[in-house]
Structure 1
């Protein structure tokens, strides 16, 4: 399978019969930092103006992927446990009639057991919060999925992720529950997020042993910049992840934070003190940012659009970037990347740039 200059096209989810639009919409901030009217404007535009532009190879209409989680967005509402995004999506689905045009993904295991003492002067203490995840035990996920479906107003969800890899719970327990949820029709398929590549290998082996369905999606932070060599971050794609995904085509990479808080378009955010840039800062990223700027100048596109177009050109492995915009204008800039066509020379410049 090769990468090339073809325009953005529908993506197949692994080896399933399901195809989706090549860009997904992330709903993390919807219902908190993104007010409901603004969120509905984004969602309405996505399903009416963007998704219908794409079709499966046999010509059938495809849905667009909308991504959320049960814990979104407790850190924006001190004292809450989350649920804002799912509840907003449930209200929007009820009035929009858009359910058939949406592949809806949500997640469990990342909610906190308690938010007591997690905030300091209104700012979340993430070092403490990470110790309070409820985890992926079978009973925990059973209750979490039921609560998510209730907030969404649905009987089932298309894709359900283990949001935060839980190494304290035996994988057999978690996978057994997910297999039973697929059998019961509560979820169409499942995925994993924020996990090491060796964990993906363990999951595959256990599923093969028990005859359980394999995960179809792997959601991880991924962008055009490559992380610092000394960085240890369980949520960022590594070369080992890419090797694994190239080996197993049944697992689709779904990339969150693809534009790294907009730093490809906003040069002021490229300071290494900015947390998104800090994970990538170095000579390699400097060279790759220059390549983005050069291609943006050639095409008239923004830096964010160039990076998203580059990601949509990838076939080995295939990637579905998630647009996690806060405002409609931010969303519109990113979604217009589907109109950016990069030629072979520009793709070659982007692919080979680096220190």
Structure 2
């Protein structure tokens, strides 16, 4: 598995990361361990989780289950020094019991979430809680998960600086953030000598988001252009296959079609997939791994072993220059 540099840190990390969101809830322990073992055996080292994963998995969950499962796996294998471990703060709701009791589902439940935010006390408690659940002394990358517009950035950044100075995190990152906010974070960090984000985690895939629907969580053209000029921040792309949109039997009925639907681009993916004897999901992921402007890490988040088996082969899919250009021209 190819390793690329994270920002300008000098640290090289596997370009394909394993999103561990559903591990310990929707994905049972045995299956999670099987995926983690296979991923690391294939040369992977980038593991991504968060303190809120996965409170919405059912009324019996409150968040932190993914971190607890990873702690068991790390303790069993004794391979902490061979993993690049990322977790996050600010995305845990303060009203989880209320949400569970509400009976709301889907978009309705998310509309009623009250996030804990990224205040200094939350950041300090958050990192200590994550380290305890993970059973480790430090994480490699610590994200602000949900950009908090109510808390002064200075407060959040100063607290993150404490976390790094204490050796509890090596680097910081930001997620679900507007480009102008990311730039403001970087300016304040530079002005005050605080650690600056080396990664920004956004939803990003081959199918571009429709103009006028640029959500905070997505890396649109403005952010991509920004990252081309600021190579010290790496893009970490989540949902790179858009919940299997590319291989969906009914793409126009898929939940992401209203945001990402593009018949011409999707047809190009299927054409290249047929040429290579690959799946459309694998081609979309291979495109992302081959792209260099900007270069990005890709996070896959399989729920089942079968999904894992169909995604991982993408690292061996080799797009020719002609196929890559055909995809570029069709998007």
TM-score (norm 1): 0.90
Q: Which runs of 5+ in 2 are unaligned?
A: none
1:50: which partner in 2? Answer: 43
SS of 2:96's equivalent in the other structure is: coil
SS of 1:301's equivalent in the other structure is: coil
Q: Which residue of 203, 224, 235 maps to 1:253?
A: 235
Q: Which residue of 4, 7, 21 maps to 1:28?
A: 21
2:95: which partner in 1? Answer: 114
Q: CA deviation at 1:114?
A: 1.6
Correspondence 1:275 to 2:240? no
Distance in structure 1 (CA, Å) of the matches to 2:60 and 2:104 = 10
Consecutive aligned runs of 4 or more in structure 1 exceeding 4 Å deviation = none
Q: CA deviation at 1:81?
A: 2.3
SS of 2:284's equivalent in the other structure is: helix
Distance in structure 2 (CA, Å) of the matches to 1:232 and 1:159 = 26
Q: CA deviation at 1:352?
A: 0.8
Deviation digits for residues 49-78 of structure 1 (CA, Å, limit 9, x no counterpart): 233xxxxxxxxxxxx100000000000022
Correspondence 1:231 to 2:224? no
1:294: which partner in 2? Answer: 271
Change (3 A) 1:175 1:206: same
Any conservation in 2 of the 1:79–1:116 contact (CA below 8 Å)? Answer: no
1:202: which partner in 2? Answer: 184
Q: CA deviation at 1:98?
A: 1.9
Deviation digits for residues 201-228 of structure 1 (CA, Å, limit 9, x no counterpart): 1011101111112110100000000111
Distance in structure 2 (CA, Å) of the matches to 1:18 and 1:115 = 37
Q: Which residue of 138, 150, 168 maps to 1:156?
A: 138
SS of 2:7's equivalent in the other structure is: coil
Q: Which runs of 5+ in 1 are unaligned?
A: 1-7, 52-63
Count of residues in correspondence between the two structures: 328
1:60: which partner in 2? Answer: none
Deviation digits for residues 132-154 of structure 1 (CA, Å, limit 9, x no counterpart): 10000011110011111000001
Q: CA deviation at 1:12?
A: 0.7
SS of 2:235's equivalent in the other structure is: strand
SS of 2:228's equivalent in the other structure is: helix
Any conservation in 2 of the 1:11–1:19 contact (CA below 8 Å)? Answer: yes
Q: Which residue of 312, 318, 327 maps to 1:341?
A: 318
Correspondence 1:140 to 2:122? yes
2:61: which partner in 1? Answer: 80
Distance in structure 2 (CA, Å) of the matches to 1:121 and 1:168 = 28
Any conservation in 2 of the 1:163–1:192 contact (CA below 8 Å)? Answer: yes
Correspondence 1:325 to 2:309? no
Correspondence 1:308 to 2:246? no
Any conservation in 1 of the 2:154–2:188 contact (CA below 8 Å)? Answer: yes
Q: CA deviation at 1:271?
A: 2.2
How do 1:55-74 and structure 2 match up within 5 A? 64-74=45-55
Distance in structure 2 (CA, Å) of the matches to 1:214 and 1:172 = 12
Any conservation in 1 of the 2:127–2:163 contact (CA below 8 Å)? Answer: no
Any conservation in 2 of the 1:106–1:159 contact (CA below 8 Å)? Answer: yes
Q: CA deviation at 1:331?
A: 1.2
Distance in structure 2 (CA, Å) of the matches to 1:118 and 1:184 = 35
Any conservation in 2 of the 1:309–1:340 contact (CA below 8 Å)? Answer: yes
Distance in structure 2 (CA, Å) of the matches to 1:233 and 1:31 = 29
Any conservation in 2 of the 1:81–1:112 contact (CA below 8 Å)? Answer: no
Any conservation in 1 of the 2:214–2:220 contact (CA below 8 Å)? Answer: no
Deviation digits for residues 237-275 of structure 1 (CA, Å, limit 9, x no counterpart): 11110011001000010000000111212232x124x32
Q: CA deviation at 1:232?
A: 4.0
